[in-house]
Structure formats: C-alpha cells, structure tokens
C-alpha cells in the first residue's frame, strides 16, 4: 500500500483514484480511516475488537491508521452500506484527518464500493482487499505469487465490469457502445486470459510439489501440519522444535509459503512438520481457492498441530475461525494436538482448564521460552503411534498370532489365503504397523 508500489488491483482498478491523495510525499505511508459497522444486535466490544484487528492488518500493509469510526445501523443499505448520511459524515472525517483511503471491516459489493468512493472521493477498500494486498506484498516464491495474483484477478473481475457499466445508463443508449465498452471488453478479455494462463502455470507448479511430497512420503515418516490463526506462534514453535530458522514477526501473515522440517522424536521415529499460512476471520474465499495447493500440506497431513494464542482475549473465537477454514478444506476431523501457546503472557485466571474441556490433546506452552516442549513431544509420539495406517501383509501360518492381534487392534479390510500364507489388507495403529513391517507385501 505504499505509494509507488501499485498492486495488481491498484494498477487495474485504482489508476485514477490513487492520485486523489494530495499533500503526501512519495514514500510516505498512506493515511487510513477505518470503518466498522455495528449492526442490529452486534455488541460494541465485538465491533471494536474486529476494528483492532483491521488496524493491525492496515499497519501490516503499510498504512498509518489516523482514525477509527464505528457507525450504528439496523441493517446495511444496498447503495452505500452505511447509508447516505453516514457517507457524508465519512467524507467530512476524511477531510479533517487528511486521509488517503478508507478501509471497511465488512465486505462491500462492487456497487457499494464505487458509490462510497464517489461521495468520499478517496480510495475505498474492504477487508478482503487489504488481506489480498498483504499477501501480494509478502509473496516470495513463484507459487505464492501466482496464487495471489489469481486471487486478486478473481476479486477484480466483477469490479472491473461494473466500474465501466455504471458509466452507461441503459444498454443500447448513446454512449453505451463505442470505445468505453470496447475498452471494457478488452480489459475483461485480458484479465480472463491472464487467469487462464495463471491457472495452467499453477497446475505445473503443483505437479512438481505433489512429486516432492510423494518422495517425502516414500521415505517413511509421518507428516504433521502446524495450523492456526495468524500470529499465534506457529513459526516460533517450528523453530523451537527443529531450528528451522523461519522468520518470526509480530505481524500478520508473516508466513505464506510452507516450510517443512524433519523432527526426530525421542523414540527415533521421524515426523515431517510443515509450517503453513495463518488463518484469519473471514479469510477471503478467493484466497482459500488459490491457496489450495499450499493448504494441501494440511489436507495431506496425518495429524494437525493447532497453535492457539491463549493470551488473546478472543482465543475462543480465533479457534472457531480456524475450525471454519478446516471444515471448508475438509480437515476438521483430523487427529489434532492443540498447543495453548503464549502462557507466559497470561494474567489473571488461567483459561487452560477451560480449553482442555473444549479441545482435545491440549498442551500448555510458551514456544518463545521453550516451556512445554517435552510434553508436546510426548503427546506427538503418542498420537502418531495411534494413527491408523493402511498395510498389505503376507503372514505365514506359523506367525498366526500376529493375525489375531491385527484382528483385535486394527480394522481388517480383506483377508485371503494363499498356500500357507494369509494375505491381509488392514488399517493398523502405526505402532502395530511397525511391529509387523517384516510381513509387508510389495
């Protein structure tokens, strides 16, 4: 969001509006007014907390927050979201605080966005756009860059269309054909072509990643993904466990690209730990779609490590947000360890017991100070040992005690006899699978 660093959205959509920012030296941060809306029965504290997170997002994107405003409304209006009177008020506010842009905590429709921009005469963006902007700034690898550009273009497409059509009145009227419309068609076509090209580039990068993942799987060892709300301490934990040297910062979305490190457990079992992109309340859909490849680390993992910042007063809501995303990618039922992180920051009554009641396999921890790592490793060993793995076995009759044990502790999928051998397909706890590994059939 710094001037002179146009994002894709900026260059396509905001070309005219960025120049409305007067009196700011090049290189200076943009001055932002944040807008929250307290609808009907929403609690004020909740709106304030969400606005606090928006302020963090704005700062992460490189803006200076000069004012935060909450408007009360029974329900949003189709034209301006906050209603015409409030938009006027907003225009005044922007003038007084010499703001360059307005950021809404709620998502605006393309029409609402354009209407508010029309009155306020400042760039207006919503939560989704600011998250997309941060991702665009932070993307480092080719894959992440492709994914974010794709997400931005999907977000742009309806806005591009309507931005131009609002200049015309009725289809067929004077001025609805001609260069404006041709330009629109060309822009739309260009964006669609680019989306198409990005999709095929992403597919080829994905194939490469899938091959890498397969190679890793072959080398045995189970996989676990570190997941959680952004800034919860996932990378700090990965570093504490494996000296991975991943960047840790008190900012949102520090990690975009997955880093995988091997952790050797005390029982000599190896597990591959992947650090992944953080989740956030209302993670834009375009991002979930585009980051599916990155999130595949999560969907393919044998086990999840949910890092939760329990020193955050909104920890319960954060946990729910994480589970919403997990449900969306079909991973909510995976075996999970919940790391109750940042206990060093807890003041007052400890929420640990409360979380233990609502979350499975909890480990209180301070990843930063290395507290709780031993208990975490023990839990990880225990859960990995319980995981079911599919095996194909050929067991000689002389070893039939193993067949009985497999029936008792695992799920037998199929069983056949061949000469003196028993051929089995079965799901077994990893521990038992290791014991019978001599009988694995190729």
Ligand X SMILES: Nc1nc2c(ncn2[C@@H]2O[C@H](COP(=O)(O)OP(=O)(O)OP(=O)(O)O)[C@@H](O)[C@H]2O)c(=O)[nH]1
Residues in contact with Mg ion by the rule CB under 5 A: 235, 254-255
Choice between 112 and 366, CB closer to ligand X: 366
Closest residue by Cα to residue 424 from 416, 432, 433? 416
Contacts 24+ apart (CB under 8 A), 48-51: 49/313, 49/314, 50/105, 50/281, 51/105
Q: What does the alpha-carbon distance between residue 353 and residue 407 come to, in Å, rounded to a whole number? A: 37
Contact indicator for 331, 299 with CB cutoff of 8 Å: yes
Other CB atoms within 10 Å distance of the CB of residue 436: 20
Alpha-carbon dihedral sign for residues 175, 176, 179, 180: positive
Q: What does the alpha-carbon distance between residue 323 and residue 279 come to, in Å, rounded to a whole number? A: 10
Q: What does the alpha-carbon distance between residue 339 and residue 349 come to, in Å, rounded to a whole number? A: 18
Q: What does the alpha-carbon distance between residue 112 and residue 163 come to, in Å, rounded to a whole number? A: 11
Question: Which member of 231, 259, 321, 361 binds ligand X (CB under 6 A)?
Answer: 231
Closest residue by beta carbon to Mg ion: 255
Choice between 102 and 339, CB closer to Mg ion: 339
Q: Which of residues 297-356 bind ligand X (CB under 6 A)?
A: 341-342, 344-345
Q: How far is the CB of 63 from ligand X (least distance, A)?
A: 18
Q: How far is the CB of 311 from ligand X (least distance, A)?
A: 7
Q: How far is the CB of 210 from ligand X (least distance, A)?
A: 24
| Residue 233 touches which of ligand X, Mg ion, none (Cβ within 5-8 Å per kind) | ligand X
Q: How far is the CB of 172 from Mg ion (least distance, A)?
A: 54
Q: Which of residues 91-150 bind ligand X (CB under 6 A)?
A: none
Q: Which two tokens stand for residue 129?
A: 């756009």
Choice between 114 and 261, CB closer to ligand X: 261
Choice between 273 and 403, CB closer to ligand X: 273
Q: What does the alpha-carbon distance between residue 273 and residue 147 come to, in Å, rounded to a whole number? A: 23
Binding mask 345-374 for ligand X (x = CB under 6 A): x--------------------xxx------
Q: How far is the CB of 311 from Mg ion (least distance, A)?
A: 17
Strands 362-364 and 303-309: unpaired
Q: How far is the CB of 275 from Mg ion (least distance, A)?
A: 6
| Residue 366 touches which of ligand X, Mg ion, none (Cβ within 5-8 Å per kind) | ligand X
Q: What does the alpha-carbon distance between residue 34 and residue 295 come to, in Å, rounded to a whole number? A: 30
Check residue 284 for interaction with ligand X (CB under 6 A). Answer: no
Residues contacting ligand X: total by CB under 6 A:
23
| Residue 403 touches which of ligand X, Mg ion, none (Cβ within 5-8 Å per kind) | none
In the complex, the residues that contact ligand X under the rule CB under 6 A are 228, 230-236, 248-250, 252-255, 278, 341-342, 344-345, 366-368
């Amino acid at each position: 969001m710094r001037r002179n660093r146009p994002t894709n959205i900026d260059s396509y959509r905001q070309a005219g509006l960025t120049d409305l920012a007067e009196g700011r030296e090049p290189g200076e941060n943009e001055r932002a007014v944040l807008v929250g809306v307290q609808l009907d029965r929403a609690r004020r504290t909740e709106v304030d907390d969400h606005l606090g997170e928006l302020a963090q997002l704005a700062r992460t994107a490189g803006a200076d927050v000069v004012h935060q405003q909450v408007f009360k409304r029974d329900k949003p209006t189709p034209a301006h979201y906050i209603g015409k009177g409030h938009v006027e008020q907003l225009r005044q506010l922007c003038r007084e605080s010499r703001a360059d842009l307005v950021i809404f905590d709620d998502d605006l429709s393309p029409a609402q966005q354009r209407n508010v921009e029309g009155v306020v005469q400042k760039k207006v963006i919503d939560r989704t756009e600011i998250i997309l902007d941060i991702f665009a700034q932070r993307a480092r690898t080719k894959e992440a860059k492709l994914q974010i550009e794709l997400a931005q273009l999907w977000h742009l497409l309806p806005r591009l269309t309507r931005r131009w059509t609002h200049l015309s009145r009725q289809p067929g009227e004077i001025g609805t054909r001609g260069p404006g419309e041709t330009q629109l068609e060309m822009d739309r076509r260009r964006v669609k072509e680019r989306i198409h090209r990005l999709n095929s580039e992403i597919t080829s990068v994905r194939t490469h990643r899938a091959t890498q993942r397969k190679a890793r799987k072959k080398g045995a060892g189970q996989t676990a993904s570190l997941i959680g709300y952004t800034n919860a301490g996932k990378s700090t934990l990965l570093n504490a466990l494996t000296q991975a040297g991943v960047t840790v910062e008190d900012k949102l979305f520090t990690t975009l690209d997955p880093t995988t490190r091997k952790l050797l457990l005390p029982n000599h079992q190896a597990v591959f730990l992947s650090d992944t992109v953080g989740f956030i309340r209302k993670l834009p859909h375009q991002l979930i779609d585009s980051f599916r490849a990155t999130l595949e680390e999560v969907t393919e993992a044998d086990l999840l490590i949910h890092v939760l910042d329990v020193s955050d007063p909104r920890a319960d809501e954060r946990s729910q947000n994480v589970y919403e995303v997990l449900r969306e990618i079909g991973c909510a039922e995976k075996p999970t360890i919940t790391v109750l992180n940042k206990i060093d920051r807890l003041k007052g009554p400890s929420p640990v017991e409360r979380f233990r009641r609502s979350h499975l396999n909890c480990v209180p921890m301070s990843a930063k100070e290395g507290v709780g790592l031993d208990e975490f490793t023990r839990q990880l060993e225990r859960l990995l040992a319980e995981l079911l793995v599919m095996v194909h076995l050929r067991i000689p009759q002389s070893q039939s005690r193993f067949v009985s044990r497999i029936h008792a502790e695992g799920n037998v999928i199929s069983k056949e006899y061949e000469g003196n051998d028993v051929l089995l397909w079965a799901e077994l706890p990893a521990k038992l699978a290791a014991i019978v590994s001599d009988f694995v059939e190729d």
